[in-house]
Structure 1
Amino acid sequence: MRRIGITGHSNLSTATVPLIADALHRTLAVLTDEPLVGVTCLARGADQLFARAVLDLGGSVEVVLPAQDYRARKVEPDNAADFDELLDRAVVVDTLPFPESGREAYMAASERVLGGIEALIAVWDGGPSGGHGGTADVIEAARERGLPVTIVWPDGAFRE
């Protein structure tokens, strides 16, 4: 069984979404020689595209939610149906004990993801994190643990 995690930008442009979705499918497709488990915090953008790609390829998804209020506080109405569908399809949902979402909770959730995987995919434009627990911080933590990191950022991709 292959356990792969995700970190990445949540603010992908509309035009970038299909580029990232395709790149994730191609990246994950070469790993389907054994059962695939995708581990994600299920944030909008990269995490949800990753979860959908894992499921499309016949894998299963495990979710780590950063805080008890994550769904109510961080999931926007225009993304609620996609979030709920993917959450319902998860085989494991682990909600961290933080009462409120915030930078500390996000980094703790990412650390939990990193603790249960053998490799990380990062949908990353190479820029610094916008705050503690951002994509660059998670990549740095993964590398410190010795986890292989695959960067996915196709030509023409950009953030809003």
Structure 2
Amino acid sequence: MIAVVGHPDLTAPTLALLEEELRRRLASLARAGRAGLVRAGQGLPVVVGRAARAAGLALVTVLPARGGVPEVLTAQDRRAAGELLLLSDQVRLLEYDPTDRDACVGADESLLRSCARLLAVWDGSPSSGRDATAHLVAFARSSGVDVEILWPAGAGRTAPAV
């Protein structure tokens, strides 16, 4: 399984750049019989889903749940989750509160434990109170997960890196 994580504030042009780059990278993983894994949300997860579909890579989307019932997402994340559900080969429920940053980080850590590789869309900046990408890269490396960093030339974020 290959997880993909990244900054939540990627610009629209960056997401467009990433879709093609991810499609190329995921195509080689599809030939190896792997599957991609994303946690439902807007932005990068949807781009990963589109790229996985174009590359022929099976996609697993994780939805937050409470008591075995899917959690209500924000309006923007609901729209993104809807598209991801259509692109996915499998959907998993995971117990966590999608409005709690620490719960989301814990969910991502749990998912990384089941992965052989992490593709991280990361500019190298440290984790902040909002963005845990650096933490997830460090967590994956310390857990023995192969990490590949993606930050294409011209990539940018809507919020300044801290």
Q: Same fold (TM over 0.5)?
A: yes
Query: Which position in structure 1 is the counterpart of 2:5?
Result: 7
CA separation in 1, counterparts of 2:127 and 2:74? Answer: 18
Query: Which position in structure 2 is the counterpart of 1:135?
Result: 133
**What is the identity, as a one-letter code, of the residue corresponding to 2:17?**
L
**What is the identity, as a one-letter code, of the residue corresponding to 1:74?**
T
Q: What is the alpha-carbon root mean square deviation over aligned residues?
A: 2.3
1:93-131 deviations in whole A, cap 9, x for unaligned?
223223553122211211122122110000111111222
Matched, 1:65 2:63: yes
CA separation in 2, counterparts of 1:71 and 1:13? Answer: 27
CA separation in 2, counterparts of 1:51 and 1:96? Answer: 18
CA separation in 2, counterparts of 1:30 and 1:120? Answer: 15
Note closer, same or farther for the CA distance 1:120–1:148 as it changes in structure 2 (3 Å cut). same
Query: Which position in structure 1 is the counterpart of 2:149?
Result: 151
Matched, 1:40 2:38: yes
| Residues 129-138 or 106-115, more deviating | 129-138
Q: Unpaired segments of 5 or more residues in structure 1?
A: none
Note closer, same or farther for the CA distance 1:151–1:144 as it changes in structure 2 (3 Å cut). same
Note closer, same or farther for the CA distance 1:84–1:144 as it changes in structure 2 (3 Å cut). same
Q: Unpaired segments of 5 or more residues in structure 2?
A: none
CA separation in 1, counterparts of 2:107 and 2:6? Answer: 13
**Are the counterparts in 1 of residues 7 and 122 from structure 2 also a CA contact under 8 Å?**
yes
Query: Which position in structure 1 is the counterpart of 2:112?
Result: 114
CA separation in 1, counterparts of 2:54 and 2:7? Answer: 21
Give the % identical residues: 33
Query: Which position in structure 2 is the counterpart of 1:96?
Result: 94
Note closer, same or farther for the CA distance 1:100–1:47 as it changes in structure 2 (3 Å cut). closer
